[in-house]
Structure 1
């Protein structure tokens, strides 16, 4: 319950803070309306980042997670949400398809990464080429935040506000979220107990024991 109260307070504070920003010309917190016909990247920006317009340079920088000037395969998959637990049942073949198709479309020099210049060219109309967009692989909006941010973006903002009380957190998404917290807390406590235990010699594989 303490964890639930802490999260409740954090979400409410976040809404209040963004509400203050809205009153002073900032962005609002509620989910943006997105054209159902919009391309995947535009919908991703609206649903995951609360950004209503698509700017190629900003999109690239936002998803260059280690800020090294290119997207590697891991970053491509992370952008498509393949590192999130919602993708745990996505077959490896599908993940390989996603990475390979993005590279096929954008990686013109064949070094298996998407460099910023390649991305900017892909999303432009240079040379009369049709402007490119990231494919929609049918795997969702591309969850890549931690569990708190994902919960706040995809559930809290839609159904709760700063007036929400503990007894209001009864949606399946609320229950699943706090169950996950309980599991993480239990695992942390279990690990802490293990860390306190002395080394038990008979649990050590023989190959790691010194010959006597």
Structure 2
């Protein structure tokens, strides 16, 4: 009941709060047609409009190894998690599963663009040559590539900007705060539902049979 009351209260207050930016209720945002995917990613995820090829490469070289491997590519596209919650930014409404098949398809597609020697990595030279020749990373339809989990993304893109210094207790509720809280509760409910189904499946063979003789006569029929 407490959770239901909180959700109702949040919905009721949603009509009176201010909004910052455009957080669509679509599952995932769509890339603007005039931008390359990597430009869209840098603008949306890192708030950087002007960058060079080396900067882009270094920012997404997670291990500082001078090369991208499978995990770097999955991180770049924001699909290293099994599910993209909301639109990946800490906002949104629906979630989308990321299957191993999708992950493999993305990694294999990127390697085909760069990895001519088939060694399973992309070097900075390979990336810089591709980028400076006008190459565009493909858009696989999984948004702009949010690297972090949805709680951290919300903090990075909204809470730090509007609450961290002036409103650390989040007393002022924006549309984004309410949308994030609703998404958080919805995800919790979905996870609980999934776990319950899995538990029922695991425990179905461990249930004890009812011993009729132990029931009172009036309940045996």
TM range (shorter): 0.5 to 0.7
Q: Provide the rounded CA distance (Å) in 1 between the counterparts of 2:132 and 2:170.
A: 48
After superposition, the C-alpha distances for 1:155-183 in whole angstroms (9 at most, x for unaligned) are 5478x4535843626613134347879xx
Considering Cα pairs closer than 8 Å and 6+ residues apart, tell me whether 1 or 2 has the greater RCO: 2
Q: CA deviation at 1:36?
A: 4.8
Give the length in aligned residue pairs: 148
Equivalent in the alignment of 1:199: none
Matched, 1:136 2:133: no
2:155 is matched with 152
Consecutive unaligned residues in structure 2, runs of 5 or more:
1-19, 22-30, 86-95, 189-221
Shift of 1:153: 3.9
Question: For the residues of structure 1 that align with 2:99 and 2:149, how far apart are their CA atoms?
Answer: 22
Contact (CA 8 Å) 1:151, 1:177: kept in 2 or not? no
Q: Which has the larger radius of gyration?
A: 2
Taking structure 1 as the reference length, the TM-score comes to: 0.58
Instruction: Compute the TM-score of the two structures, normalised by the length of structure 2.
Output: 0.56
d(CA) in 1 for partners of 2:98, 2:108: 16
Q: Greater helix share, 1 or 2?
A: 1
Unaligned ranges ≥5, structure 1: 1-29, 126-130, 182-212
Matched, 1:53 2:50: yes
Q: 1:172 aligns with which of 176, 179, 187?
A: 179
SS at match of 1:66: coil
Query: Which of 83, 86, 109 is the aligned partner of 2:84?
Result: 86
SS at match of 1:176: helix
